[in-house]
Copies of this chain bind each other. A is one copy, B any other.
Amino acid sequence: MNPPLKIAVAGLGTVGAGLVKLLASQAALLEARCGRRLVITAVSARDRHKKRDVDLSGFAWYDDPVEMAKSADAEAIVELIGGANGPAKALTEAAFVKGRHVVTANKAMLAHHGATLAAAAEGAGVTLGYEAAVAGGIPIVKALREGLAGNKIERVYGILNGTCNYILTVMRESGKSFEDVLADAQKKGYAEADPSLDVDGVDAAHKLAVLTSLAFGTAMDFEAVSVAGIRNVSPMDLEYAGELGFRIKLLAIGRRTPRGIEQRVHPCMIPAGIPLARVDGVFNAVMVDGDFAGNTVYVGRGAGQFPTASAVASDLVDLARGVRSPVFGVPAGKLAKLVVSPMAEHRGRYYIRLMVRDQPGVIADVSAALRDERVSLESMLQRGRSKTKAVPVVLTTHETVEAAMLRALDRIGRLEAVLEPPCMIRIEEL
Protein backbone atom coordinates (compact mmCIF):
# COMPACT_ATOMS: atom_id res chain seq x y z
CA MET A 1 0.00 0.00 0.00
CA ASN A 2 1.24 3.44 -0.91
CA PRO A 3 1.57 6.01 1.88
CA PRO A 4 -1.52 8.20 2.37
CA LEU A 5 -1.89 11.62 0.78
CA LYS A 6 -1.75 13.98 3.75
CA ILE A 7 -3.94 17.05 3.47
CA ALA A 8 -4.15 20.30 5.45
CA VAL A 9 -7.34 22.34 5.15
CA ALA A 10 -7.36 26.12 5.56
CA GLY A 11 -10.87 27.48 6.09
CA LEU A 12 -13.68 25.53 7.73
CA GLY A 13 -16.74 27.31 6.42
CA THR A 14 -19.43 25.56 4.41
CA VAL A 15 -17.10 24.01 1.85
CA GLY A 16 -14.36 23.13 4.34
CA ALA A 17 -16.83 21.28 6.53
CA GLY A 18 -18.22 19.59 3.42
CA LEU A 19 -14.75 18.38 2.49
CA VAL A 20 -14.16 16.96 5.98
CA LYS A 21 -17.44 15.07 5.66
CA LEU A 22 -16.69 13.85 2.15
CA LEU A 23 -13.24 12.52 2.97
CA ALA A 24 -14.68 10.69 5.99
CA SER A 25 -17.70 9.18 4.28
CA GLN A 26 -15.90 8.19 1.06
CA ALA A 27 -12.68 6.96 2.68
CA ALA A 28 -12.90 3.37 1.42
CA LEU A 29 -14.04 4.40 -2.05
CA LEU A 30 -11.25 6.92 -2.40
CA GLU A 31 -8.67 4.44 -1.21
CA ALA A 32 -9.83 1.96 -3.88
CA ARG A 33 -9.76 4.63 -6.55
CA CYS A 34 -6.40 6.12 -5.63
CA GLY A 35 -4.52 3.13 -4.29
CA ARG A 36 -3.85 5.13 -1.14
CA ARG A 37 -5.75 6.88 1.59
CA LEU A 38 -6.63 10.58 1.58
CA VAL A 39 -6.09 11.81 5.12
CA ILE A 40 -6.60 15.23 6.68
CA THR A 41 -3.78 15.88 9.14
CA ALA A 42 -4.24 19.57 9.96
CA VAL A 43 -6.84 22.31 9.82
CA SER A 44 -6.90 26.05 10.30
CA ALA A 45 -9.76 28.51 10.72
CA ARG A 46 -10.45 31.81 12.34
CA ASP A 47 -12.19 30.56 15.46
CA ARG A 48 -11.08 27.34 17.05
CA HIS A 49 -14.03 27.23 19.42
CA LYS A 50 -16.82 27.86 16.95
CA LYS A 51 -19.45 25.14 17.08
CA ARG A 52 -19.14 23.00 13.95
CA ASP A 53 -20.97 19.89 12.81
CA VAL A 54 -17.74 18.05 12.03
CA ASP A 55 -15.30 16.43 14.42
CA LEU A 56 -11.88 18.07 14.24
CA SER A 57 -10.31 16.22 17.15
CA GLY A 58 -8.09 14.06 14.97
CA PHE A 59 -6.45 17.01 13.20
CA ALA A 60 -3.64 19.33 14.26
CA TRP A 61 -4.98 22.85 14.75
CA TYR A 62 -3.32 25.97 13.42
CA ASP A 63 -4.48 29.48 14.19
CA ASP A 64 -2.35 30.77 11.33
CA PRO A 65 -3.09 29.22 7.92
CA VAL A 66 0.20 30.45 6.47
CA GLU A 67 2.08 28.74 9.25
CA MET A 68 0.07 25.61 8.56
CA ALA A 69 0.94 25.76 4.86
CA LYS A 70 4.61 25.94 5.80
CA SER A 71 4.90 23.41 8.57
CA ALA A 72 1.94 21.04 8.75
CA ASP A 73 2.58 17.37 8.07
CA ALA A 74 0.94 17.55 4.65
CA GLU A 75 1.71 17.24 0.96
CA ALA A 76 -1.37 19.14 -0.16
CA ILE A 77 -2.86 22.33 1.22
CA VAL A 78 -6.53 23.04 0.55
CA GLU A 79 -7.27 26.77 0.48
CA LEU A 80 -10.91 27.57 1.29
CA ILE A 81 -10.50 30.99 2.88
CA GLY A 82 -11.28 33.11 -0.17
CA GLY A 83 -10.34 36.62 -1.21
CA ALA A 84 -7.97 37.67 -3.95
CA ASN A 85 -5.17 38.57 -1.58
CA GLY A 86 -4.56 38.29 2.16
CA PRO A 87 -4.05 34.94 3.87
CA ALA A 88 -5.33 32.92 0.89
CA LYS A 89 -2.59 34.18 -1.40
CA ALA A 90 0.03 34.20 1.34
CA LEU A 91 -0.59 30.57 2.24
CA THR A 92 -0.67 29.51 -1.41
CA GLU A 93 2.70 31.11 -2.03
CA ALA A 94 4.10 29.71 1.22
CA ALA A 95 2.96 26.21 0.26
CA PHE A 96 4.69 26.43 -3.13
CA VAL A 97 7.92 27.64 -1.49
CA LYS A 98 7.79 24.55 0.68
CA GLY A 99 7.10 22.31 -2.34
CA ARG A 100 3.50 21.55 -1.44
CA HIS A 101 0.53 21.29 -3.78
CA VAL A 102 -2.40 23.65 -3.37
CA VAL A 103 -6.05 22.95 -4.12
CA THR A 104 -8.29 25.99 -4.03
CA ALA A 105 -11.87 27.10 -4.63
CA ASN A 106 -10.77 30.73 -4.84
CA LYS A 107 -11.78 32.26 -8.17
CA ALA A 108 -10.97 35.83 -7.05
CA MET A 109 -7.37 34.86 -6.32
CA LEU A 110 -7.05 33.02 -9.63
CA ALA A 111 -8.66 35.82 -11.65
CA HIS A 112 -6.14 38.29 -10.26
CA HIS A 113 -3.02 36.19 -9.75
CA GLY A 114 -3.63 32.93 -11.62
CA ALA A 115 -0.74 33.15 -14.08
CA THR A 116 1.76 34.21 -11.41
CA LEU A 117 0.64 31.45 -9.05
CA ALA A 118 0.76 28.86 -11.83
CA ALA A 119 4.33 29.92 -12.58
CA ALA A 120 5.22 29.62 -8.89
CA ALA A 121 3.68 26.15 -8.69
CA GLU A 122 5.51 25.07 -11.82
CA GLY A 123 8.79 26.47 -10.53
CA ALA A 124 8.36 24.45 -7.35
CA GLY A 125 7.44 21.29 -9.26
CA VAL A 126 4.01 21.14 -7.65
CA THR A 127 0.50 21.81 -8.87
CA LEU A 128 -2.41 24.14 -8.28
CA GLY A 129 -5.84 22.53 -8.50
CA TYR A 130 -8.94 24.69 -8.85
CA GLU A 131 -11.81 22.53 -10.13
CA ALA A 132 -13.91 23.97 -7.28
CA ALA A 133 -13.33 27.57 -8.37
CA VAL A 134 -15.68 27.37 -11.36
CA ALA A 135 -19.19 25.91 -11.59
CA GLY A 136 -19.13 23.90 -8.35
CA GLY A 137 -19.83 20.22 -8.91
CA ILE A 138 -19.43 20.36 -12.69
CA PRO A 139 -15.97 19.07 -13.70
CA ILE A 140 -15.55 21.80 -16.30
CA VAL A 141 -11.90 22.61 -15.56
CA LYS A 142 -10.94 19.01 -16.28
CA ALA A 143 -13.14 18.96 -19.37
CA LEU A 144 -11.40 22.01 -20.81
CA ARG A 145 -7.86 21.19 -19.74
CA GLU A 146 -7.90 17.49 -20.61
CA GLY A 147 -11.17 16.23 -22.11
CA LEU A 148 -11.18 18.81 -24.91
CA ALA A 149 -7.39 19.16 -25.17
CA GLY A 150 -7.54 18.17 -28.86
CA ASN A 151 -9.61 21.24 -29.68
CA LYS A 152 -8.96 24.83 -30.46
CA ILE A 153 -11.68 26.47 -28.37
CA GLU A 154 -13.67 29.15 -30.14
CA ARG A 155 -16.02 30.14 -27.34
CA VAL A 156 -16.79 29.26 -23.73
CA TYR A 157 -19.89 30.67 -22.12
CA GLY A 158 -22.65 29.99 -19.71
CA ILE A 159 -24.44 30.64 -16.47
CA LEU A 160 -21.75 30.82 -13.81
CA ASN A 161 -23.51 32.46 -10.87
CA GLY A 162 -26.30 30.51 -9.19
CA THR A 163 -27.42 33.45 -7.04
CA CYS A 164 -28.15 35.62 -10.07
CA ASN A 165 -29.77 32.75 -11.89
CA TYR A 166 -31.98 32.01 -8.90
CA ILE A 167 -33.01 35.67 -8.56
CA LEU A 168 -33.79 36.03 -12.27
CA THR A 169 -35.75 32.77 -12.23
CA VAL A 170 -37.87 33.83 -9.24
CA MET A 171 -38.36 37.34 -10.64
CA ARG A 172 -39.67 35.87 -13.86
CA GLU A 173 -41.94 33.37 -12.15
CA SER A 174 -43.29 35.74 -9.49
CA GLY A 175 -43.19 39.15 -11.17
CA LYS A 176 -41.52 40.51 -8.01
CA SER A 177 -38.80 43.18 -8.02
CA PHE A 178 -35.08 42.52 -7.81
CA GLU A 179 -34.96 43.97 -4.28
CA ASP A 180 -37.79 41.78 -2.96
CA VAL A 181 -36.42 38.59 -4.47
CA LEU A 182 -32.92 39.38 -3.24
CA ALA A 183 -34.17 39.91 0.31
CA ASP A 184 -35.98 36.59 0.12
CA ALA A 185 -32.89 34.82 -1.28
CA GLN A 186 -30.84 36.25 1.57
CA LYS A 187 -33.30 34.84 4.10
CA LYS A 188 -33.06 31.43 2.44
CA GLY A 189 -29.27 31.51 2.38
CA TYR A 190 -29.09 31.63 -1.44
CA ALA A 191 -27.55 35.11 -1.35
CA GLU A 192 -24.89 36.62 0.91
CA ALA A 193 -25.56 39.42 3.40
CA ASP A 194 -23.40 41.55 1.11
CA PRO A 195 -24.62 40.32 -2.28
CA SER A 196 -22.60 42.67 -4.45
CA LEU A 197 -19.95 40.16 -5.61
CA ASP A 198 -22.76 38.00 -6.96
CA VAL A 199 -25.43 40.40 -8.22
CA ASP A 200 -22.96 42.85 -9.75
CA GLY A 201 -21.47 40.09 -11.88
CA VAL A 202 -18.02 40.13 -10.28
CA ASP A 203 -18.11 36.48 -9.16
CA ALA A 204 -19.11 35.35 -12.65
CA ALA A 205 -16.37 37.57 -14.08
CA HIS A 206 -13.76 35.94 -11.83
CA LYS A 207 -14.85 32.53 -13.08
CA LEU A 208 -14.90 33.70 -16.69
CA ALA A 209 -11.33 35.02 -16.41
CA VAL A 210 -10.28 31.53 -15.29
CA LEU A 211 -12.22 29.76 -18.05
CA THR A 212 -10.92 32.01 -20.81
CA SER A 213 -7.34 31.50 -19.70
CA LEU A 214 -7.87 27.75 -19.78
CA ALA A 215 -9.78 27.78 -23.05
CA PHE A 216 -7.56 30.12 -25.04
CA GLY A 217 -4.16 29.63 -23.42
CA THR A 218 -3.95 33.28 -22.45
CA ALA A 219 -2.79 34.82 -19.18
CA MET A 220 -5.84 35.94 -17.22
CA ASP A 221 -6.65 39.61 -17.45
CA PHE A 222 -9.48 40.33 -15.06
CA GLU A 223 -9.46 44.06 -15.79
CA ALA A 224 -10.30 43.25 -19.39
CA VAL A 225 -13.60 41.59 -18.47
CA SER A 226 -16.57 43.82 -19.26
CA VAL A 227 -18.95 43.36 -16.30
CA ALA A 228 -22.55 44.29 -15.61
CA GLY A 229 -24.82 42.68 -13.03
CA ILE A 230 -28.55 42.19 -12.69
CA ARG A 231 -29.59 45.07 -10.40
CA ASN A 232 -31.12 47.00 -13.29
CA VAL A 233 -33.17 44.14 -14.68
CA SER A 234 -36.79 44.92 -13.92
CA PRO A 235 -39.84 42.63 -13.86
CA MET A 236 -41.01 44.64 -16.85
CA ASP A 237 -37.96 43.53 -18.86
CA LEU A 238 -38.56 39.90 -17.93
CA GLU A 239 -42.13 40.24 -19.12
CA TYR A 240 -41.16 41.89 -22.41
CA ALA A 241 -38.49 39.24 -22.89
CA GLY A 242 -41.18 36.55 -22.66
CA GLU A 243 -43.32 38.42 -25.15
CA LEU A 244 -40.41 38.68 -27.61
CA GLY A 245 -39.57 34.96 -27.27
CA PHE A 246 -36.56 35.45 -24.99
CA ARG A 247 -35.41 34.63 -21.47
CA ILE A 248 -33.04 36.92 -19.55
CA LYS A 249 -29.95 35.20 -18.13
CA LEU A 250 -26.75 36.58 -16.68
CA LEU A 251 -24.22 35.06 -19.07
CA ALA A 252 -20.46 35.01 -18.94
CA ILE A 253 -19.01 34.83 -22.45
CA GLY A 254 -15.44 34.31 -23.57
CA ARG A 255 -14.94 34.34 -27.31
CA ARG A 256 -12.26 34.57 -29.95
CA THR A 257 -12.93 37.38 -32.38
CA PRO A 258 -10.82 38.61 -35.29
CA ARG A 259 -9.82 41.48 -32.98
CA GLY A 260 -8.80 39.41 -29.96
CA ILE A 261 -10.48 37.80 -26.98
CA GLU A 262 -13.84 39.12 -25.87
CA GLN A 263 -14.70 38.59 -22.18
CA ARG A 264 -18.02 39.87 -20.91
CA VAL A 265 -20.54 39.25 -18.16
CA HIS A 266 -23.96 40.87 -18.45
CA PRO A 267 -27.67 40.10 -18.62
CA CYS A 268 -28.56 38.67 -22.02
CA MET A 269 -31.74 38.05 -23.91
CA ILE A 270 -31.49 34.50 -25.22
CA PRO A 271 -34.04 32.52 -27.26
CA ALA A 272 -36.53 30.93 -24.84
CA GLY A 273 -36.42 27.64 -26.74
CA ILE A 274 -32.75 26.78 -26.34
CA PRO A 275 -31.60 24.46 -23.55
CA LEU A 276 -29.58 27.19 -21.80
CA ALA A 277 -32.79 29.19 -21.33
CA ARG A 278 -34.15 26.32 -19.24
CA VAL A 279 -31.26 26.13 -16.82
CA ASP A 280 -33.06 27.67 -13.88
CA GLY A 281 -32.61 28.31 -10.19
CA VAL A 282 -29.25 27.61 -8.59
CA PHE A 283 -27.95 25.55 -11.51
CA ASN A 284 -24.92 26.48 -13.57
CA ALA A 285 -24.33 25.58 -17.20
CA VAL A 286 -21.19 25.87 -19.28
CA MET A 287 -21.11 25.53 -23.06
CA VAL A 288 -17.89 25.04 -24.99
CA ASP A 289 -17.44 25.37 -28.74
CA GLY A 290 -14.46 23.31 -29.87
CA ASP A 291 -13.36 23.05 -33.48
CA PHE A 292 -13.40 19.24 -33.44
CA ALA A 293 -15.79 18.25 -30.63
CA GLY A 294 -18.36 20.86 -31.65
CA ASN A 295 -20.58 22.29 -28.94
CA THR A 296 -20.58 20.41 -25.63
CA VAL A 297 -22.69 21.35 -22.63
CA TYR A 298 -22.12 20.82 -18.91
CA VAL A 299 -24.86 21.39 -16.33
CA GLY A 300 -24.99 20.93 -12.58
CA ARG A 301 -25.07 22.62 -9.20
CA GLY A 302 -22.79 25.62 -9.28
CA ALA A 303 -22.28 25.99 -5.56
CA GLY A 304 -23.15 24.49 -2.21
CA GLN A 305 -21.32 22.48 0.40
CA PHE A 306 -21.33 19.06 -1.23
CA PRO A 307 -20.95 19.90 -4.94
CA THR A 308 -17.99 22.16 -4.17
CA ALA A 309 -16.47 19.55 -1.86
CA SER A 310 -16.85 17.05 -4.71
CA ALA A 311 -14.78 19.32 -6.95
CA VAL A 312 -12.06 19.77 -4.31
CA ALA A 313 -11.99 16.00 -3.87
CA SER A 314 -11.45 15.45 -7.60
CA ASP A 315 -8.30 17.58 -7.44
CA LEU A 316 -7.11 15.63 -4.41
CA VAL A 317 -7.76 12.36 -6.24
CA ASP A 318 -5.65 13.64 -9.14
CA LEU A 319 -2.86 14.44 -6.69
CA ALA A 320 -3.13 11.07 -4.99
CA ARG A 321 -3.03 9.27 -8.34
CA GLY A 322 -0.14 11.38 -9.61
CA VAL A 323 -2.26 12.90 -12.39
CA ARG A 324 -0.72 16.22 -13.46
CA SER A 325 -1.57 18.59 -16.25
CA PRO A 326 -0.31 22.13 -16.77
CA VAL A 327 -2.32 24.41 -14.45
CA PHE A 328 -3.97 26.39 -17.25
CA GLY A 329 -3.50 23.82 -19.99
CA VAL A 330 -0.08 25.02 -21.14
CA PRO A 331 3.02 25.83 -19.09
CA ALA A 332 2.62 29.19 -17.33
CA GLY A 333 5.47 30.67 -19.36
CA LYS A 334 3.59 29.88 -22.57
CA LEU A 335 0.35 31.63 -21.61
CA ALA A 336 -0.05 34.28 -24.31
CA LYS A 337 -0.76 37.88 -23.48
CA LEU A 338 -4.50 38.37 -23.86
CA VAL A 339 -5.28 40.67 -26.76
CA VAL A 340 -8.51 42.37 -25.78
CA SER A 341 -11.36 42.67 -28.22
CA PRO A 342 -12.82 46.04 -27.13
CA MET A 343 -16.49 46.05 -26.13
CA ALA A 344 -16.93 49.22 -28.20
CA GLU A 345 -16.39 47.04 -31.28
CA HIS A 346 -18.75 44.29 -30.16
CA ARG A 347 -21.45 43.60 -32.74
CA GLY A 348 -24.88 42.36 -31.80
CA ARG A 349 -28.55 43.02 -31.48
CA TYR A 350 -29.95 45.08 -28.62
CA TYR A 351 -33.09 45.31 -26.52
CA ILE A 352 -33.80 48.83 -25.30
CA ARG A 353 -36.47 49.88 -22.83
CA LEU A 354 -37.24 53.58 -22.44
CA MET A 355 -39.59 55.17 -19.90
CA VAL A 356 -41.11 58.13 -21.73
CA ARG A 357 -43.68 60.84 -21.33
CA ASP A 358 -46.54 59.81 -23.58
CA GLN A 359 -46.57 62.72 -26.03
CA PRO A 360 -46.41 63.08 -29.80
CA GLY A 361 -42.92 63.20 -31.31
CA VAL A 362 -41.04 61.01 -28.81
CA ILE A 363 -40.72 58.07 -31.16
CA ALA A 364 -39.65 60.39 -33.95
CA ASP A 365 -36.86 61.80 -31.78
CA VAL A 366 -35.74 58.34 -30.69
CA SER A 367 -35.82 57.05 -34.26
CA ALA A 368 -33.77 60.00 -35.46
CA ALA A 369 -31.08 59.34 -32.84
CA LEU A 370 -30.86 55.71 -33.96
CA ARG A 371 -30.85 56.61 -37.64
CA ASP A 372 -28.04 59.10 -37.18
CA GLU A 373 -25.90 56.31 -35.67
CA ARG A 374 -27.03 53.90 -38.40
CA VAL A 375 -28.69 51.62 -35.86
CA SER A 376 -31.49 49.79 -37.61
CA LEU A 377 -34.72 49.09 -35.69
CA GLU A 378 -36.12 45.58 -35.76
CA SER A 379 -39.23 46.08 -33.63
CA MET A 380 -40.95 48.68 -31.48
CA LEU A 381 -43.61 48.16 -28.82
CA GLN A 382 -45.52 50.86 -27.00
CA ARG A 383 -48.31 49.31 -24.99
CA GLY A 384 -49.45 51.52 -22.14
CA ARG A 385 -50.94 54.97 -22.46
CA SER A 386 -50.93 57.48 -19.63
CA LYS A 387 -51.36 61.21 -19.32
CA THR A 388 -49.55 61.35 -15.99
CA LYS A 389 -47.06 58.51 -15.66
CA ALA A 390 -44.03 57.37 -17.64
CA VAL A 391 -44.88 54.63 -20.14
CA PRO A 392 -42.47 52.00 -21.43
CA VAL A 393 -41.31 51.90 -25.04
CA VAL A 394 -39.44 48.76 -26.02
CA LEU A 395 -37.18 48.55 -29.05
CA THR A 396 -35.09 45.79 -30.55
CA THR A 397 -32.40 46.48 -33.10
CA HIS A 398 -30.76 44.60 -35.93
CA GLU A 399 -27.06 43.84 -35.58
CA THR A 400 -25.03 46.95 -34.90
CA VAL A 401 -21.79 48.06 -33.31
CA GLU A 402 -21.81 48.66 -29.54
CA ALA A 403 -20.14 52.07 -29.79
CA ALA A 404 -22.85 53.34 -32.13
CA MET A 405 -25.54 51.90 -29.87
CA LEU A 406 -24.07 53.64 -26.85
CA ARG A 407 -23.80 56.98 -28.66
CA ALA A 408 -27.44 56.71 -29.72
CA LEU A 409 -28.49 55.79 -26.17
CA ASP A 410 -26.60 58.72 -24.78
CA ARG A 411 -28.50 61.07 -27.03
CA ILE A 412 -31.80 59.32 -26.34
CA GLY A 413 -31.20 59.49 -22.60
CA ARG A 414 -30.89 63.26 -22.83
CA LEU A 415 -34.23 63.72 -24.63
CA GLU A 416 -36.58 65.78 -22.51
CA ALA A 417 -39.40 63.22 -22.82
CA VAL A 418 -37.22 60.27 -21.75
CA LEU A 419 -37.70 60.16 -17.98
CA GLU A 420 -35.24 57.46 -16.82
CA PRO A 421 -31.85 56.28 -18.05
CA PRO A 422 -32.49 53.82 -20.91
CA CYS A 423 -32.29 50.12 -20.03
CA MET A 424 -30.16 48.21 -22.55
CA ILE A 425 -29.87 44.41 -22.66
CA ARG A 426 -27.81 42.65 -25.30
CA ILE A 427 -29.54 40.00 -27.42
CA GLU A 428 -27.30 36.98 -27.72
CA GLU A 429 -27.43 34.60 -30.66
CA LEU A 430 -26.23 31.23 -29.38
By a beta-carbon cutoff of 8 Å, the part of chain A in contact with chain B is 18, 22, 26, 29-30, 32-35, 131, 136-139, 142-143, 146-152, 217, 275, 278-279, 290-301, 304, 306-307, 309-314, 316-318, 321-326, 329-331, 334
Contact = CB atoms under 8 A, between A and B. Distances in A.
19 contacts: A22-B150, A33-B217, A35-B331, A136-B293, A139-B142, A139-B296, A143-B143, A146-B318, A147-B314, A150-B313, A151-B310, A275-B278, A275-B299, A278-B278, A293-B300, A293-B301, A294-B304, A296-B300, A323-B324
Given A148-B310, A323-B325, A329-B33, A294 B299 contact: no
Contact of A324 (B32, B316, B321): B321
A306 B324 contact: no
A26 B217 CA distance: 14
A139 B298 CA distance: 10
Contact of A292 (B298, B309, B321, B324): B309
A313 B317 CA distance: 23
Contacts of A33: 149, 217, 326, 329-330
A121 B273 CA distance: 46
Given A33-B330, A35-B331, A139 B150 contact: no
Contact of A301 (B18, B294, B299, B312): B294
A142 B137 contact: no
Contact of A147 (B139, B290, B294, B301): B139
B330 A32 contact: yes
A230 to B, nearest CB: 23
A150 B322 contact: no
Residue among A299, A309, A331 with the highest chain B CB neighbour number at 10 A: A299
Given A148-B139, A150-B30, A292 B313 contact: yes
Contacts of A142: 139, 142-143, 146-147
A152 B32 CA distance: 12
B150 A296 contact: no
A35 B295 CA distance: 26
